[in-house]
Amino acid sequence: MDAEQLRQYLEFYQDLGVKSLYRRTVVAPAAPAAPAVEVAPPAPMELPPLAPSDDTLLKIIQDIGDCRRCKLHEGRNKIVFGVGNEQAPLVFVGEGPGADEDAQGIPFVGRAGQLLTQMIEGTARKEGMNLLRNDIYIANVVKCRPPENRTPEPEEMEICGQFLHRQLMAIRPKAICALGGTAARALTGHKEGVTKMRGKWFKWQDIPVMVTYHPSYLLRAYNVEPKREAWEDLKKLLHYVYD
Ligand code: URA
């Protein structure tokens, strides 16, 4: 019996209300010597892709609908899907909407968002690039505001993450910028803190991901060092994408 048959078998008994199973002791016959492999192992199971090949941001919004897939919907005013250019070569990913974003339905429009806009446009200008916030795309790991701006829970990130996955697959940018530890961990699977990860390249699927500080952290940071580091990270990122 393979793993899938065993799963169906157990589900069948569960549906009948059988709560516990026990194993009969089986006296195993002496194992014969293993034969040389004659039959190639079966091809790995084809899993349906997470994102349809002809996906668009519009279809994703339609699929999200009036989402109630996790408990974050209970406190939200607006779903904050994402904003910007659907063909952007660069996508910024934050953690989740705050109060201003929840009220307007647009990511990064509060104080942290204004700093992010200044950082993107200011760095580009200093580096001789003509780049505005509207030229890139901005989204979050979760699309509804967590209560008291708490960090999204793993289950919320997993449920909402399927839509971020589809957004990134539909846009297929040249690079992604993870803003802060939550986005960095969600996109890269690495578990270190942002201080260790910032300024380095990681990968999401086959797309390079640059990790940097979240602008909310930069608003609170007392010394100028993190701000200087974030400008450095952005410079590296913008030159990779636009040179
Ligand atoms: N912080 C985030 O992570 N995302 C927003 O959209 C706003 C603030």
pLDDT in tens, the chain (243 residues): 666 656 665 665 555 555 555 554 445 555 445 445 445 555 555 555 678 889 999 999 999 999 999 999 999 999 999 999 999 999 999 999 999 999 999 999 999 999 999 999 999 999 999 999 999 999 999 999 999 999 999 999 999 999 999 999 999 999 999 999 999 999 999 999 999 999 999 999 999 999 999 999 999 988 899 999 999 999 999 999 999
Q: Which atom of ligand 1 is nearest to the CA of 101?
A: 6
Antiparallel, parallel or unpaired: β 175-179 and 90-94:
parallel
Q: How far is the CA of 231 from the centre of ligand 1 (A)?
A: 19
Q: Write the DSSP symbol of residue 53.
A: T
Residues with CB under 6 A from ligand 1: 94-98, 101, 107-108, 110, 112-113, 140, 216
Q: How far is the CA of 233 from the centre of ligand 1 (A)?
A: 19
Q: How far is the CA of 241 from the centre of ligand 1 (A)?
A: 23
H or E element, residue 138: strand 137-140
CA dihedral 167, 171, 177, 182 (to 10 degrees): 10
pTM: 0.81
Q: How far is the CA of 96 from the centre of ligand 1 (A)?
A: 5
* Those residues with Cβ within 8 angstroms of residue 97's Cβ, 6 or more apart along the chain or in another chain: 76, 80, 107, 140, 142, 143, 144, 145
Q: Which atom of ligand 1 is nearest to the CA of 183?
A: 3
